[in-house]
Amino acid sequence: MNPAERISELTEKLNYYNQRYYMDSVSEISDQDFDLLLKQLESLENQYPDLKLPESPTHRVGGTITKNFASVEHRYPMLSLANTYNEQELIDFDERVKKGLNGEAYEYICELKFDGISLSMTYENSIFVRGVTRGDGVRGDDITNNVKTIKTLPLKVAAPRGRSFEIRGEGFLPYSSFEKMNSDAEAAGEESYANARNAASGSFKLQDSAEVARRGLDAYVYQFLSDEEIFTTHEESLIALKNLGFNVSPTWQKCTDIQSVIEYIKLWDEKRYSLPMATDGIVIKLNSIAQRAELGYTAKSPRWAIAYKYKAESKPAILKAVTYQVGRTGAITPVAELDNDKLNGKGIHLSGTTVKRASLHNANEIERLDLRIGDTVFVEKGGEIIPKVTAVDVSKRDMLSTQEIVYPTTCPECGGQLSRKEGEANHYCTNEKGCPPQIRGRIEHFIHRKAMNIDSLGEGKIELLYDKGIVNDITDLYDLTYDKLFGLEKVTEDELTGKIRKIGFKEKTVQNILEGIEKSKQAPFKQVLFGIGIRYVGATVAEKLASFFKNIDNIKNADYETLRTAPEIGDKIAQSIVEYFQNEENQIFIERLRLAGLQFSAQDEVKEIESDQLTGKTFLYTGTFVNFEREALEQKIEANGGKVVSGVSGKLDFLIVGEKPGASKIQKAQKLNVKMISEEEFMAMLG
């Protein structure tokens, strides 16, 4: 068989196995065999790049770097829907439909409204050729390479050749992927996403498609568009799309009247929480394509469709107790222990899950809410994923049976003294070297992908190694051997689900860990500096320090004033670095890592320059953005001659404001008359 035939055969086979696995939940081949075939295909495509097919499954792993997304005009405008939050407005909508159709019989199709990012996907000659965001409804961004990473999206379909058509859908981040993203962000000392929708939007607009592929995005499709009239009803199109291999949510339903629609809405008000992704409402559409054309559109939205939005669910719970968690930096986080009014230890049922605990953030939040043990509190899920206490039902408070919350003065894990720096909300355990959660947390931070990237290790394995006394410090990782690891095992039980979880070190796992540790010795200095975990030195600050001082000795020997001369290094960061290197144990720790072979000097990097449009201007940002991750936004500013600063001051030229901005930055910018601009205005500055 010649290379072209083999590439075609492997492409067809692998796409078929993908389809069966991701769409039909059937494994016709083992993961190992699938990976073997995929490697064969990758090898052939590398040898014969001209023979690589557009529908090749190797596109799904990403790897393309996009510096700027091209703007694409939609062939069919992507209009928004009118929204409603109550039944009466639905009935009013139905009356308008009835009147517009002059008494004709009609049906509705009801679909769950998934909370993500709207996507337009174009197929030509049965091949997926372009994926575009909604944008302003008229033009969107071409994110084709990122859309290709969605494993449930067919890159080739069995449609008639020569026919061009467009598929509309909602790209989203499953809860499991969202939780992992936030867990990684927290381990890296970065700000986590508020909800799965923001995370999905940010992920689809990343410039590195390999990173997009790693995040596990998915999509449901819900609309077929073409210049030809293929279907007479929306129902027909959904069935056809499913048969072609598209991921159509099975939750849609045909309704013959508005009361059936309302029953569907009530059915999914609770049931939707059992789904593995975020939803925020129901979309109601006329089924008949001809009747849709008859009703037409307003300037902003179709007259034949409406979206019903669910209100955030809030439930009362009893605050049984407040416990305290210790993070890697020693920060103490109070946690509300919750139960229902029966106090049976089963918690409360909220947004489809059992909730027993909710973060209270810090002592200030407890004081703000005026909480007492025994209070009836209201609990919501932020972004329908993170439980939070929002208020107290003071009318149910009994001062005789409730108890004042006394914030601890010692660490709940090790008994060390707690301290609270002036101007900070958090309390910290001062026993940095002897507090188990801090020690484990520092090791987990060190192996993070933005630090040393030892991805074969994880929280469970680190805990096992620490409990066994094998790894008591980051430097102990570089003394690990096959004999120390092989055969270690730990069995745990999840307190909520009762599921048994086994953590073990088998031969392949041990090999991967040792290879990862050895590979980490080549990680650049900026990642090592981030990984050692100096307080307030996040990934971006570590990069600035590495670029300015060039090696660890220059940083160690720099005094406070010298550190302040480095870009973006403020008072708090400079003082923290000075205190870190004054500690003799930290100096010994650095030397042990140096002897292990880690990189403590920066290599000269050539940064790409795009333009000088922003030369002489300083920028800071707050919130989340549609077109950029935080790191990508900083790179864009610097590539165009601008400078990113660390805080709001009178010297700041522009504060870029995204979704859900930080209130303190906004207030300070207003006070200092700093110009605030939107993401769109920033893009306009780049021309």
Of 351, 401, 394, 276, nearest to 25 by C-alpha is 276
| Length of the chain as a residue count | 687
Query: What tokens does 585 get?
Result: 């144990």
Of 551, 545, 594, nearest to 574 by C-alpha is 545
Query: Angle at CA 383, nearest 5°, toward 372 and 275?
Result: 115
227-245 burial, b at 16+ Cβ within 10 Å, e below that, comes to eeebbebbbebbeebeebb
CA distance to 142, 354, 468, 493, per residue, from 497 (Å): 42, 10, 26, 8
CA 675 to chain centre: 29
Residues 6+ apart with CB under 8 A from 472: 439, 466
Residues in a beta bridge with 378: 316, 391
Residue pair 629/202 in contact (Cβ under 8 Å)? The answer is yes
113 catalytically annotated: yes
Of 320, 357, 327, 319, nearest to 418 by C-alpha is 327
Four-CA torsion 388, 116, 287, 168, nearest 10 degrees: 180
Residues 6+ apart with CB under 8 A from 174: 196, 216, 218, 276, 277
Q: Which of the following is catalytic: 13, 39, 52, 113? A: 113
Backbone angles phi, psi at 223, to 5 degrees: -155, 140
Query: What tokens does 547 get?
Result: 């670029």
Residues in a beta bridge with 169: 119, 221
Could you identify the residue written with the tokens 């971006």?
A: 540
Query: Angle at CA 525, nearest 5°, toward 520 and 530?
Result: 85
Residue pair 616/640 in contact (Cβ under 8 Å)? The answer is no
Residues in a beta bridge with 491: 502
Looking at residue 260, the DSSP 8-state letter turns out to be H
- The Cα–Cα gap between 378 and 336 comes to 12
- The Cα–Cα gap between 112 and 307 comes to 10
Query: What tokens does 435 get?
Result: 């507090």
Number of H helices, E strands in the chain: 24, 28
Of 192, 547, 550, nearest to 361 by C-alpha is 192
CA distance to 119, 190, 614, 666, per residue, from 624 (Å): 19, 13, 21, 14
Residue pair 637/586 in contact (Cβ under 8 Å)? The answer is no
Residue pair 413/434 in contact (Cβ under 8 Å)? The answer is no
Residue pair 321/383 in contact (Cβ under 8 Å)? The answer is no
Residue pair 284/303 in contact (Cβ under 8 Å)? The answer is no
Classify 352 in phi/psi space as left (phi over 0), alpha (psi -120 to 50) or beta.
left
Residues in a beta bridge with 279: 114
- The Cα–Cα gap between 254 and 304 comes to 15
Q: Could you report how far apart the first and last alpha carbons of the chain are, in Å? A: 52
Could you identify the residue written with the tokens 């003082």?
A: 575
* 3-state DSSP percent of the chain in helix, strand and coil, to 5: 40, 25, 40
Residue pair 140/198 in contact (Cβ under 8 Å)? The answer is no
**What residues are labeled active site?**
113
